[in-house]
Amino acid sequence: MAREDARNAWSAAIPVVPAEVLADIYAHARETYPEECCGFLLGPRDEARVDEVRRCVNEQNRYHALDPERFPRTAREAYYLGGKDLRFLVESFQGPRPVKIIYHSHPDVGAYFSAEDTRAALGREPDDTAEPLYPVDYLVIDAQADHIGGAKLFRWQPQQRAFVQVAEYPGER
Ligand SMILES: [Zn+2]
């Protein structure tokens, strides 16, 4: 990923997330509850909206089973994108319909951007030089046992060197 592309993406308008896209990813979060779901939101390159959901496979349990020391968390509290989904993600940045948002759900704990989420987005521990791996925003869904509490969108702020909330969406009973 060229740094130039990344800068352009992060200075772009906040993506518009239509109600039907929200309904679709809320349904995904309900289906995988009490485990985390994850996926991509795509849309036309030259417009500030997303109009397509691509559900990803949360590989966290598989990696946890293979190597519990390196992957201490289960899918109950983490997500991990597999090779096929990562390839789709990277290749989308060259095409007319890039992935603009990576979404995942937080079962029971609320829609905040966790230290683990920051590490996943940076590919390493945050420090003075760490940059996000991909030019995308991150949407976190508040998944509860009997409803969706809502969702929040987070974007990397280069000056603060942190992910900051830039939008919030209503929940669903
Ligand atoms: Zn998370």
End-to-end CA distance of the chain: 40
What CATH number corresponds to the domain at position 97?
3.40.140.10
163 CA to middle of ligand 1, Å? 12
**Alpha-carbon distances, residue 55 vs 39, 42, 92 (angstroms):** 4, 11, 15
11 CA to middle of ligand 1, Å? 23
Q: Predicted confidence band at 2 (pLDDT cuts at 50, 70, 90)?
A: very low
Q: For residue 56, give the nearest of 38, 43, 42, 41 by alpha carbon.
A: 38
Distance (Å, whole) CA 24 – CA 49: 15
17 CA to middle of ligand 1, Å? 19
Q: List pLDDT tens digits, range 16-72.
A: 999 999 999 999 999 999 999 999 999 999 999 999 999 999 999 999 999 999 999
Q: What is the mean pLDDT of residues 65-83?
A: 93
Q: List pLDDT tens digits, range 87-97.
A: 999 999 999 99
Does the pLDDT at position 1 exceed 80?
no
96-125: string of b/e by CB count within 10 Å (b at 16+)? eebbbbbbbbbbeeebebeeebbebbbeee
**Three-state DSSP class for 40?**
strand
Q: What residue numbers bound the domain in which 33 lies?
A: 3-169
Q: How many domains does the chain have?
A: 1
104 CA to middle of ligand 1, Å? 6
Is residue 80 within 8 A of residue 53, CB to CB? The reply is: no
Mean residue pLDDT of the chain comes to 93
Q: For residue 22, give the nearest of 117, 153, 121, 136 by alpha carbon.
A: 153
128 CA to middle of ligand 1, Å? 22
Q: For residue 14, give the nearest of 171, 155, 162 by alpha carbon.
A: 155
